[in-house]
Amino acid sequence: MIFGLEIKLILKSRKSRFRQRAINELTNKRFSPTLSLMYKTSKLSSGLRVLTAPCPGTDSVTALVFAGAGSRYEKESERGISHFLEHMFFKGGKKYKNTREVSVAIDGVGGDFNAFTGKEYAGYYVKVAAEHIDLGCDVLGDMLLNASFPQEDIERERGVIMEEERMYQDTPMYRAGWDFERLLLGNHPLGWDTIGKEKVIMSVGQKDFQLHKDLLYTPDNLVVSFSGNITEDKVMDLAEKYFGKIDGKKEREFTPFDSYGDDRIFLRTKNTEQAHLVIGVPGINALDDDYFTQKLLSIILGGNMSSRMFLNVREARGLCYYISTEDDTYLDAGSFATRAGVDQSRLYEAIEAIKNEYMQCAADGITDEELKRAKDFLKGKITLSLEDSEERAHFYGKQELMYPKVRTVDDYFAEVESVSKEKVNELASRLLKSEEMRLVVIGKEEDEAKLQILVNGGGG
């Protein structure tokens, strides 16, 4: 329901109450000095994993259901069904029979509810005042257990999905990111747009949605993550009551990623006010030992207003309004890229400037001061974000679903601190190679050959 884009940490700045440190560890329990539970994972008799992550200093509770059901689980003939299914869950179940009844229930208590579909997982959540969490789980459980996918709702929603797709087509800074993933990851489900293909969107029916749900929305492929003003006992009661009847066994695995695309340039000529570009390289995957190293490198290069890209490309040369460097990681692939919106007449200059920052970093490395600032920035943003019950439910729940182990905040910070300047420099020299560069441009530019020259030889 929330626009087919993978949710990332929403970095919200509030006065921090959360800085509790773990001092004991027993099985999968983490305790702070005040003995409040950091997180705990348990299982229902069905095998459904239930995670509790209390959030000190809040009066809200978030219940977030993660499913290993992202768009990379699709076949060519199904492209877009994962995202479309996410929309259809909100059309009602047995108790809350339609979108209006779902909305009225949550809106009536001032709550938030939404969903998201990424490449590797989907999520559905409600966030309410603590006293209304039973209602929130009732709505969420009814959707996931009893959605009937009425054909008349499917027909109406086709138009909604297509308008969403057009919205992204009309938003070049989004479209350029999707084009870059396709360029880098090739004709593999990881490289496909989450929104899908119009042919599929206009043809899938009730049976298709039910089959996809049965294949992937099963206890062994779901995690229900609770965070906020709530106890473990209450969580387990809610989970059993509202999600305990989910059954089945996962029957679909995704296609492993094997190689990055060979093409280096993608040009979408369009009459835009700005030229929008993404330039980057293959990165490391989410399970790589250098995961935190890459994250810090991206911050140093373009992660904030004191980064190299912002100061040297935007401030010193006035080449763009927005510019940022990001690393995206999947279980078996990754990307490292900088995106920017630039004056059409200075496109080449901007490409050269960004590439030059890459090449200089690869050749000369970073400074101790840059590394310290990046570590403090990352830890500070995580600390602020995790004051929100929604963000904490996401932080722990995603890890429980996707990764071999769940890192506590202390674990996470310890790994950030363990990254040395030498590790960052080694990774920069390994990743930031001219021969690995890929470039996407959306704008009035028509000369693809010139772009090829810039990427292959210029600016470095």
Per-residue pLDDT reduced to its tens digit, 77-98: 999 999 999 999 999 999 999 9
* Res 457: pLDDT: 73
The 3-class SS string of the chain reads: CCCCCCCCCCCCCCCCCCCCCCCEEECCEEECCCCCECCEEEECCCCCEEEEEECCCCCEEEEEEEECCCHHHCCHHHCCHHHHHHHHHCCCCCCCCCHHHHHHHHHCCCCEEEEEECCCCEEEEEEEEHHHHHHHHHHHHHHHHHCCCCHHHHHHHHHHHHHHHHHHHCCHHHHHHHHHHHHHHCCCHHHCCCCCCHHHHCCCCHHHHHHHHHHHCCHHHEEEEEEECCCHHHHHHHHHHHHCCCCCCCCCCCCCCCCCCCCCEEEEECCCCCEEEEEEEECCCCCCCCHHHHHHHHHHHHCCCCCHHHHHHHHCCCCEEEEEEEEEECCCCEEEEEEEEECHHHHHHHHHHHHHHHHHHHHHCCCHHHHHHHHHHHHHHHHHHCCCHHHHHHHHHHHHHHCCCCCCHHHHHHHHHHCCHHHHHHHHHHHCCHHHCEEEEEECCCCHHHHHHHHHCCCC
Non-local (6+) Cβ contacts of 460 within 8 A are 355, 356, 358, 359, 434
Q: Same structural domain for residues 60 and 208?
A: yes
Q: Does residue 365 belong to any structural domain of this protein?
A: yes
List the 49-54 sheet strands across, edge first. 40-43, 49-54, 222-228, 60-67, 122-129, 112-117
Distance (Å, whole) CA 431 – CA 420: 17
| Pair 173, 35 in one domain | yes
pLDDT at residue number 456: 83
What whole-number distance in Å separates Cα of residue 450 and Cα of residue 249? 52
In angstroms, what CA-CA distances link 316 with 47, 238, 305, 310, 339?
56, 55, 12, 8, 17
Task: Indicate if the pLDDT at residue 25 is higher than 70.
Answer: no
Confidence (pLDDT) at 370: 98
Instruction: Tell me the mean pLDDT in the region 62-78.
Output: 97
Residue 342 lies in a domain: yes
Query: Within this chain, do residues 138 and 217 fall inside the same structural domain, yes or no?
Result: yes
Q: Are residues 142 and 29 in the same domain?
A: yes
438-443 and 265-269 strand pairing:
parallel
Domain range spanning residue 46?
A: 24-243
Average pLDDT over residues 337-360: 97
pLDDT at residue 329 is higher than 80: yes
User: Does 216 lie in the same domain as 116?
Assistant: yes
The per-residue pLDDT of the chain, averaged, comes to 91
Q: For a pLDDT cut of 70, what percent of the chain falls above it?
A: 91
Q: How much is the pLDDT for 38?
A: 86
In this structure, the answer to whether residues 283 and 239 fall within a common structural domain is: no
| Whether pLDDT at 282 is above 90 | yes
Answer for the pair 102, 96: CB distance below 8 angstroms, yes or no: yes
**Same-domain status, 284 and 188:** no
CB-neighbour burial class of residue 346 (10 A; exposed 0-12, middle 13-18, buried 19+): middle
Tell me the mean pLDDT in the region 100-119.
97
For residue 248, being part of any structural domain is answered with no
283 and 186 both lie in a single domain? no
Q: What is the pLDDT of residues 395-452, one digit of tens each?
A: 999 999 999 999 999 999 999 999 999 999 999 999 999 999 999 999 999 999 999 9
Same domain, 175 and 313: no
**Class of residue 13 by CB neighbours under 10 A (exposed 0-12, middle 13-18, buried 19+):** exposed
Indicate yes or no: pTM above 0.85.
Answer: yes
**CA nearest neighbour of 273 among 133, 172, 147, 199:** 172
Pair (212, 356) in one structural domain: no
Q: If you average pLDDT over residues 124-151, what whole number do you get?
A: 97
Please check whether residue 3 lies inside any domain of the structure: no
pLDDT band at 37 (very low <50, low <70, confident <90, very high): low
Sheet harboring 438-443: ordered strands across? 265-269, 438-443, 275-282, 334-342, 320-329
Q: Is residue 2 part of a domain?
A: no
Residue 1 counted as domain residue? no
The C-alpha atoms of residue 244 and residue 252 are separated, in whole angstroms, by 22
Q: What is the CATH number of the domain that holds 182?
A: 3.30.830.10
- Note whether 42 and 152 are same-domain residues: yes
Q: Is residue 207 part of a domain?
A: yes
Please state the rounded mean pLDDT for residues 221-241. Answer: 97
Residue 8 lies in a domain: no
Give pLDDT, residue 57.
85
Counting Cα atoms < 13 Å in the Cβ hemisphere of 460 gives 18
If asked whether residues 317 and 435 sit together in one domain, one would say yes
Give the phi and the psi of residue 358 in degrees, each rounded to 5: -60, -50
Determine the pLDDT at residue 27. Answer: 30
CB–CB of 119/330 below 8 Å? yes
Q: Which residue has the tokens 């329901």?
A: 1
Phi, psi of 57 (to 5 degrees): 80, 25
Residue environment code for 217-244, b if the CB has 16+ CB neighbours within 10 A, otherwise e: bbbebbbbbbbbbbebebbbebbeebbb
As for how many domains the chain has, the answer is 2
Q: Which comes out higher in pLDDT, residue 3 or 87? A: 87
- CA dist., res. 50 & res. 36, Å (int): 18
Provide the annotated active-site residues: 86
- Dihedral sign, Cα of residue 408, residue 411, residue 416, residue 417: positive
